[in-house]
A and B are shown apart, each in its own frame.
Chain A
Amino acid sequence: MLEARLEQADNFKKVVEAIKDLVQDCNFDCNDSGIALQAMDNSHVALVSMSLKAEAFSPFRCDRNIALGINLSSLTKVLRAAQSSDILTLKAEDAPDVVNFTFESADSDRISEYDIKLMDIDQEHLGIPDTEYGAVVKMPSSEFLRICRDLSAISESVTIECTKEGVKFSSNGDIGNGAVTLRQHTDVDKPDKNVEISLTEPVSLTFSLKYLLNFCKATGLSSSVELSLSSEVPLLVDYTLGSNNGFLRFYLAPKIGDED
């Protein structure tokens, strides 16, 4: 028996919104510590890892480990029926055929209920080791979105270069080239605007902007984003879910070799 009650349906909606354009179907692995998800895109060059801790729910109950295989576009359709401020309750049996969503309006007595049929999804689970990254950049998530959007007008890929001066995003395309550089910045009044760079070695890697833009769908989840880079390993784009209730992490393989 799984029963998870979320005060703000918005949080779950945004998570699903952020993932649904990357993967089609995926398993929500539920156990007593919370709900987790790991999935790759069709090309297997990007990976999304999501965790909603049990503390994010009130209450959270999961008697047995179950995997809820859900088609994300179906889930999106159902979640559209929920308002941001609704109380969302997720329910499933121990060996479920369906997962049940209940949306309760906070200010009126409206209750809506939906069942989504589950599917069997064969997914390989990858073990992701803890990595010491050469460079970790923390910046406002909106800033990251803006850079990606602006540079995608120039080219399909972006080179992220981390030095002790700052982090430089540069693109080289048919119409010309463009670059955005962010230096370390501390705003006491608005800590959200801080840019923090911790560097152990300079790193320069190239990534697909289309994928990065895709990751930016999670911008609404968190005011800041953390980019972790090391040469020859995937970029980690980490959105922390409010007050340490979980995370949404994206990994993207760097482009190696031919620069175009």
Chain B
Amino acid sequence: MARATRSKLAAKSSQPTETTESTKATLEPSVKNPPKLFVLPEKASKDARIITLPNPATSAANRYYHCPETGIYELVKVAAPRSVPRSLLCTSQRARNVKAKDQESGTAEQSTHEPPPDSIPTNDFSKGYVTRSADMFVATPMDFLFFLLPILAPLATKDHKQMFLTFDDHMEKADGGINPLLAIPSTAKLLESRMAAVCETMESQEESMYKFSVAKLTTTLSEKAQAVLAKGLPPSMEEKFVRQALQVPVLSVKREESGIKTTDPFQLSTESQQSSASSSTSIAVDDTANSTAQSSSISAPEEVINLLRMRTAFQFILSSYLPPHLRETIWKYISSSQNPIKELNFTPLDTHLKHLDSLREQARALRSLSDNVSRKRGLDDDEAIEAREEKKRKKEEEEKKKKTASRAVKNLKKVDTSGMKKMSSFFTKAVPKK
């Protein structure tokens, strides 16, 4: 699918550093604005452009790749994790062929490099190019639907009654961003069809009227999530959100069987990773996750595992592409009893996770029993320490006060005041005058 590794910015940027093998290692200084590497769809037409649209989830301006024929693509940044710095060496197939030919013919004079063919500009990567950061921007197809959601269900009208409106009326509400795309007939048509997917429609005269429907949106999203599941979750997500979440603490099992209290605390340190997936569109490739050995068992029924996968996928879609207020609405809709979508009924999963939580809690309690030597004071009781210090300070202050009190005052304290009422029972508190 990948067609080119041609930089969009290469033309603008100053001369890229070339690493020719012939000259001695005199490296040119790295350029300030290095070319970026894009992987663009092969099918995209010539009219495809990189455009700026508000991100549907965060409403911040983001770059998207739009092709009037094949739709819209989001640019996902694939970066090496910071702990594993990498660079990319870009060469072209042609350059490799040339080099191979050179070696075959024995003319190893690299200085007489053939001038590249006309079709390739002089500052291309045919001679090889090293980018310092291994960031790559991959255009992945995206549903126009998500751009429509902030328009169809804006935050202000969250609780208002939605009206049936024509497509044009709906689009009028959009404030910039997507509007220029409407000038392209094919895109406008595509947008309208996507709107129909999440709206109740009503035919009136020649035009169709649309009203946003949470139920339809949920169904659409559920289909998307199922499509994700059909291909399986990416291994890193599977590891982090499914396997770790369902891991059964080893200790509790042992304990039930034998009552032996020797434990391995490291087995228990897996916390629930149910926090929502990050909403940024950059995904760091972490290949260590893939190779992690399946160290402990998941003894959950298949149904629960699938539900968790479903929820993970669903959550990812929600947090990546939906505005926050809509996420709430959809979760509310799902958790309500009227939720008609069987796939999104997470009750069995919740019960199972709760069960696991209680197991973990037990395990933790037991662990703190077994190695309390090193863990006499938890790290999380800063407040308690503070409160203690405060108390101590107050006590000291009081002590100091006592010491400074004159003898007469001290003696007066010993006086028998039984049967004497306090002054405040005779005189009322005065309003402090300022």
Which residues of A come within 8 Å of B, CB atoms? 20-24, 40-47, 65, 71-73, 76, 124-129, 156, 208, 210-211, 214, 233-234, 251-258
Contact = CB atoms under 8 A, between A and B. Distances in A.
Contact of B409 (A21, A45, A128): A21
B429 A41 contact: no
B416 A65 contact: no
Contacts of B408: 20-22, 214
A208 B427 contact: no
Given A24-B404, A126-B428, A210 B423 contact: no
A251 B424 CA distance: 12
Given A125-B430, A214-B408, A234 B416 contact: no
Given A20-B408, A24-B404, A253 B415 contact: no
Contacts of B415: 43, 156, 208, 210-211
B419 A258 contact: yes
Given A45-B421, A255-B419, A125 B432 contact: yes
A208 B409 contact: no
A44 to B, nearest CB: 4
Given A21-B412, A125-B429, A40 B417 contact: no
A47 to B, nearest CB: 5
B252 to A, nearest CB: 53
A253 B421 contact: yes
Contacts of B421: 45, 253, 256
Nearest to A124: B429
B404 A47 contact: no
Classify chain B's interface size.
20 to 34
B396 to A, nearest CB: 15
Nearest to A256: B419
A105 B310 CA distance: 92
Nearest to B423: A47
Given A45-B423, A253-B423, A211 B429 contact: no
11 contacts: A20-B408, A24-B404, A40-B423, A42-B409, A44-B423, A124-B424, A126-B423, A127-B428, A210-B415, A251-B426, A258-B418
Contacts of B426: 233-234, 251, 253
Contacts of A40: 423
Nearest to A46: B423
Contacts of B411: 210
A255 B415 CA distance: 12
Given A45-B421, A46-B423, 20 more contacts: A20-B408, A21-B408, A21-B412, A24-B404, A40-B423, A41-B409, A41-B412, A44-B423, A45-B420, A45-B423, A73-B405, A126-B424, A127-B427, A127-B428, A128-B427, A208-B415, A251-B423, A253-B422, A253-B423, A255-B418
Contacts of B423: 40, 44-47, 126, 234, 251, 253
A105 to B, nearest CB: 28
A258 B420 CA distance: 10
Contacts of B428: 126-127
B413 interface: yes
A115 to B, nearest CB: 18
Contacts of A210: 411-412, 415
A129 B416 contact: no
